A and B are shown apart, each in its own frame.
Chain A
Amino acid sequence: MIPSLNEVETIASRATRGAGRPWGLAEEAARAARWLARHGLPWERLADLLADDGIVAPVLEPGRLRPAGDGRLCPLRSGALVAEGGTGLLPLRLERVAVPLLLLPFAADLAHRAGRRIALAWPAAQFTCEPGGAVARAAGPVGQHDGSVDGVEIREAARSEAVLLPPTAPRRAPDPAALATLQQLARRTYVPATERSRREGAGAGLLDSD
Chain B
Amino acid sequence: MRPPAQAMRLARLGAAHQTRLSFLRALLRQLRREGWRFARPLWRIDAEGYGTAVYEARGPQRTCSLVCFSHRLDPGKRTDRVIAEAWDATFALYDGVPDEAALARLAANVPRQEAGRYEATELVLLRANRSVRLFDAVVAALAAGRQPEVAELEAVGYLMRTTAVYGNGKFGLADRDRIAGRPEFANAYRAELLSVWLARSFTVDLAEHLAAVRDPAGAVPLAPALRRRLGVGNSTGLGMAPYLVKHPSLLHRWVAARETALARVRALPRAGSAKKDGFHAALARARRGVATWRTDDALQAERIVALADDLGRLAVAAPALLDGARPWDALYRHAEATLTLEGQEMTVGLLIEPHGALVDDLADTMQADEEAELAIDGTVACGAFAAAAAASHGWTAGFDFARPEAQARFWYVSEEKLEPRLGERAAEPGAELEQPLATARDIAALIRALGAAPAEEPLALFLLRHPEHRHAARRVAVAQRHPYGEIRDNLIGAAVRPIDLLRFKLACFGATRFDPRSDRWVRIALFQGAPFPAELAGEADEGWIWGPAAAA
Contacts and interface: CB of A to CB of B under 8 A. Distances in A.
Interface string A196-210: 111001111111111
A160 interface: no
A175 interface: no
A80 B470 contact: yes
Contact of B375 (A5, A60, A109, A198): A109
A193 B520 contact: no
B338 interface: no
B464 interface: yes
A171 interface: yes
Contacts, number: 185
Contacts of B473: 24
Interface string B455-484: 000111101110111111110000000000
Contacts of B171: 7
Contacts of A1: 117
A81 B235 CA distance: 43
A85 B464 CA distance: 10
A190 B517 CA distance: 26
A21 B468 CA distance: 8
Contacts of A83: 375, 378
Contacts of B132: 208-210
Nearest to A113: B375
Given A24-B468, A204-B521, A205-B79, A84 B377 contact: yes
B80 interface: yes
B430 interface: yes
A24 B168 CA distance: 22
Given A23-B471, A85-B378, A202 B80 contact: no
Nearest to A1: B117
A81 B416 CA distance: 37
A208 B80 contact: yes
A206 B177 CA distance: 36
A204 B460 contact: no
Given A4-B172, A203-B517, A204-B79, A190 B468 contact: no
B238 A85 contact: no
Interface in B131-187: 131-133, 156, 161, 163, 168-177
Nearest to B176: A6
A202 B470 contact: no
Contacts of B292: none
A190 B433 contact: yes
B301 interface: no
A191 B460 contact: no
Give the interface SS of chain B, mostly helix, strand, loop or mixed: mixed
A207 B460 contact: no
A27 interface: yes
Contacts of B169: 4-7
B471 A27 contact: yes
B471 A60 contact: no
Contacts of B269: none
B428 interface: yes
B349 interface: no
Contacts of B163: 204
A190 B418 contact: yes
A194 interface: yes
A176 interface: no
B60 interface: no
Interface residues of A, number: 53
B394 to A, nearest CB: 21
Interface in A153-208: 168, 171, 187-194, 196-198, 201-208
Contacts of A80: 376, 378, 460, 463-464, 470
Contact of A197 (B414, B461, B520): B414
A4 B175 contact: yes
A77 B467 CA distance: 7
A62 interface: no
Interface in B401-440: 412-416, 418-423, 428-430, 433, 436
A23 B471 CA distance: 6
Nearest to A24: B470
Contacts of A201: 238, 414, 419, 421-423
Nearest to A35: B371
A6 B520 contact: no
Interface in B367-405: 371, 374-379
B379 A204 contact: no
B431 to A, nearest CB: 9
Contacts of B83: 198
Q: Which of A3, A85, A198, A206 has the most CB of B within 10 A?
A: A85
Given A6-B170, A190-B413, A24 B471 contact: yes
A22 interface: yes
Nearest to A78: B464
A6 B79 contact: no
Contacts of B168: 6
B131 to A, nearest CB: 6
Sorted nearest first, the 5 A-B pairs with minimum C-beta distance are A24-B470, A6-B169, A84-B378, A203-B521, A201-B421
8 contacts: A57-B465, A83-B375, A86-B378, A171-B120, A203-B520, A204-B237, A207-B79, A210-B161
Given A85-B461, A208-B78, 8 more contacts: A6-B176, A60-B461, A60-B464, A191-B414, A201-B238, A202-B520, A203-B238, A204-B82
Interface of A: 1-7, 21-25, 27-28, 31, 38, 57-58, 60, 77, 80-81, 83-86, 88-89, 109, 113, 168, 171, 187-194, 196-198, 201-210
